Structure 1
């Protein structure tokens, strides 16, 4: 006797099945769509093994590709349902503020952005895929909620540019530039021990305003974030430096005038501002210790990683 329920179920499954060779095409595309964002999420939360040539990241990506491919092939008879579940997960991520449609769009937009001739390819996919050196230690060291860091930042805002009028829209940025001025005029470069990296916390660096580039970046990022700015750290070959988000290209015109004609007139005289523009059109201004004004020259243009604090 034929089981009518099983026959009906199998018949429904067959209706959902995509015919060859389109099922293989859909599986390949779906694998790529799932693998890249999944790798970025896992990679950003992975402990840094620091294997040579980033082999740990390469093997992780290959493993994700293989596992997803095997799963999708096992589910090829219900591939349409898999697509529906994929879209459903993105809807949930968007609604909950986690990884959703906007995030995946930005990641794939980054990939296309790297292939263009844009002169400021920042936040590119390579910066997201390569491990940021000492990431977990640096994040822990950026103590923007530490009262000592917050009080220092407030002190800097009362010491510099307090009486600047007429730029209410850029008040927070002006205060962040006050922090920049106070840190950079006092910073004393001191190398790490020869046998290892020493990561100083922001509050520790406030004792002597001394350390190497990552110590300076940590202190700058912590103090800027403590008063409402949005900093990020850029990793280049042998160097780390801080940047600050100043807004759009239109905001850049106003900030350029402020820096060169109001805040840092002497230090920036006949000098240009150096910045990066990401694929979303956001402008990030250099805050490295090597200059006396925001937007000083880059020590290195080759960007290997970015760590945004928001």
Structure 2
């Protein structure tokens, strides 16, 4: 029969206990670290009450922090064990690629930045969208499976933002923004003939990067779709421009942070991010040829038609 050594619980408890006042300091820091991921989850899933200065989110953060602080104070005799378990959970999340240290940092930075610099929404103002002009010609001109269009898009992704680390969930959007940067940096606006619209194919526009707004929109949509993005074209009075699907409002937080702090810092400095929200609650961001950064100002606000490329 094997005799296991007896565990002296009072002695073990004494070893794990941190002496005052270090116990409160450690608990405060640990409470903050635990509060941040919990607060992010609540922020992403609770309805935004749109209170002034985001006071609803401030109250939630304070409540969560206080609850965790008092819970840890109650368990302060095993505070070292709590720290070890917390770090182990985050380390495990980082290793398996689920939710770890880097993801917490990205989410927190995006959330805080968006709270202080809200993007600017623009609603669809017409109740019934009108037929899209030259719809069949435009669809045929969006040659997203053309090797020239695909190769151009791949070139753009290799030229711009290739070295951006992290944000793996938004790799496709970042690459689509690289396409936007390449096209808008080279685009030369040229009018159509006076006797009617000239619809250039995407591969045709690649030769000189010139044309009017519908030619630009066709090339942008084709290149974006060729690398997995979801574009759509918007028709306003006398104008057509492209947009890209961003996703939910939570996705907008991440993309807003990327544009303003990582990808287009100079171009977007001190400026708003403009976007539309469709009937499904999905966010679409402006990619017009007049924009210096994704989400630049709209030339025309009233939408008359929309052509989504699924």
- Tell me the TM-score normalised to structure 1 length: 0.60
- Matched with 2:245 is 245
Structure 1 segments of 4+ aligned residues over 4 angstroms from their partners = none
**Gap regions ≥5 residues in structure 1:** 1-118
DSSP 3-state at the match of 2:180: helix
After superposition, residues 1-310 of structure 1 pair within 5 angstroms as 120-122=122-124, 126-127=128-129, 130-310=130-310
Instruction: Tell me by how many angstroms 1:193 deviates.
Output: 0.2
Alpha-carbon separation, structure 2, partners of 1:199 and 1:150: 20
Q: Is contact 1:231–1:245 with CA below 8 Å preserved after alignment?
A: yes
Alpha-carbon separation, structure 1, partners of 2:200 and 2:278: 29
Larger C-alpha radius of gyration, 1 or 2? 2
DSSP 3-state at the match of 2:193: coil
Q: Is contact 2:125–2:302 with CA below 8 Å preserved after alignment?
A: no
Q: Is contact 2:224–2:231 with CA below 8 Å preserved after alignment?
A: yes
Q: Is contact 1:188–1:211 with CA below 8 Å preserved after alignment?
A: yes
Q: Is contact 2:122–2:274 with CA below 8 Å preserved after alignment?
A: no
Deviations 1:252-310 (A, max 9, x none): 11100000000000000000100000121100000000011000000001100000001
- Matched with 1:69 is none
**Gap regions ≥5 residues in structure 2:** 1-120
DSSP 3-state at the match of 1:183: helix
Q: Is contact 1:248–1:281 with CA below 8 Å preserved after alignment?
A: yes
Instruction: Tell me by how many angstroms 1:121 deviates.
Output: 3.8
Alpha-carbon separation, structure 2, partners of 1:280 and 1:137: 27
Q: Is contact 2:124–2:302 with CA below 8 Å preserved after alignment?
A: no
Alpha-carbon separation, structure 2, partners of 1:125 and 1:228: 30
- Matched with 1:29 is none
Alpha-carbon separation, structure 2, partners of 1:123 and 1:308: 18
State how many pairs are aligned: 190
Alpha-carbon separation, structure 1, partners of 2:243 and 2:126: 16
- Tell me the TM-score normalised to structure 2 length: 0.60
Instruction: Tell me by how many angstroms 1:122 deviates.
Output: 3.6
DSSP 3-state at the match of 1:306: strand
Q: Is contact 2:126–2:304 with CA below 8 Å preserved after alignment?
A: no
Instruction: Tell me by how many angstroms 1:120 deviates.
Output: 4.2
Structure ranking higher on relative contact order (CA contacts 8 Å, 6+ apart): 2
DSSP 3-state at the match of 2:297: coil
RMSD, aligned α-carbons: 1.2
Alpha-carbon separation, structure 2, partners of 1:260 and 1:120: 19
Q: Is contact 1:120–1:278 with CA below 8 Å preserved after alignment?
A: no
Alpha-carbon separation, structure 1, partners of 2:268 and 2:165: 20
Alpha-carbon separation, structure 2, partners of 1:169 and 1:124: 33
Q: Is contact 1:123–1:278 with CA below 8 Å preserved after alignment?
A: no
Alpha-carbon separation, structure 1, partners of 2:212 and 2:123: 26
Q: Is contact 2:259–2:265 with CA below 8 Å preserved after alignment?
A: yes
